[in-house]
Amino acid sequence: MILAYGFNINESDKCVYTKFDGKGNGVIIFLYVDDMLIFGTDLYQVQLTKRILSSEFDMKDMGQANVILGIRIVRDDESITLTQYHYIEKVLKRFNHFDCAPVSTPLDPSVELVKNTGNPVSQLEYSKLIGCLMYAMTCTRPDIALAIGKLSRFTNNPSELHWFAIRRVLKYFKENYQLWLML
């Protein structure tokens, strides 16, 4: 559909479309289900694209992007910061760890995580928490990747030991970081 307006599809990632004129001005469009980001070399290009797209689709212009898929975008002169602190805050509150004492590492290397041979402990709650943390991990928090990778192996039968380890990740989250891209 979009291709008819002279956009080129990025063959490596089919949700990315580009359109550039000979002088190097143009736009890049990113699609995610029903969300869209338009990135242009200048404002005129962006507005032109919006006009084309809104003539075809029913869409709402949210102006400059502040939040996409729950990730907040903060700009200043030299950098772009992606942050999920408000999401992480929500998770901490939901799992009653908002007032916990922070720790400085996500995983205690001296604790060996072994398979639970007994009955699962709050299995549903555990898998919900894994899901929440995994979302943060894939978006802006590479620092907890290993901890989540290990803990998620026990989602079907978590023991107190695993709960202890996952609570540590929540405590680690009290020391908030945000992902920062320097441009």
Partner 1 sequence: MKDQDHASTSGWIFTLAGGAISWASKKQTLIASSTMESEFIALTSASKEGEWLREILHEIPLWPKPITPISIHCDNQATLARAYNHVYNGKSRHIGLRHSCVRELITNGVITIDYVKSSQNLADPFTKGLLRDLVNKTSRGMGLKPMTENHQ
By beta-carbon proximity to partner 1, the closer residue of 11 and 99 is 11
| Six token digits for residue 162 | 């695993």
By beta-carbon proximity to partner 1, the closer residue of 122 and 156 is 156
Minimum gap (Å) between residue 72 Cβ and partner 1: 9
> How far is the C-alpha of 59 from the C-alpha of 54, rounded, in Å?
6
Strand pairing report for 71-75 and 67-68: antiparallel
> How far is the C-alpha of 69 from the C-alpha of 82, rounded, in Å?
11
Given a contact cutoff of 8 angstroms between Cβ atoms, the answer to whether 15 and 28 are in contact is no
> How far is the C-alpha of 63 from the C-alpha of 142, rounded, in Å?
29
Minimum gap (Å) between residue 37 Cβ and partner 1: 14
By beta-carbon proximity to partner 1, the closer residue of 11 and 34 is 11
By beta-carbon proximity to partner 1, the closer residue of 57 and 180 is 180
What is the contact surface with partner 1 in residues (CB under 8 A)? Answer: 8, 10-13, 16, 18, 20, 24, 26, 28, 41, 74, 81, 83, 85, 104-109, 114, 141-143, 145-147, 149, 153, 175-183
Radius of gyration of the chain (CA): 21
> How far is the C-alpha of 5 from the C-alpha of 89, rounded, in Å?
42
Minimum gap (Å) between residue 171 Cβ and partner 1: 13
Minimum gap (Å) between residue 94 Cβ and partner 1: 20
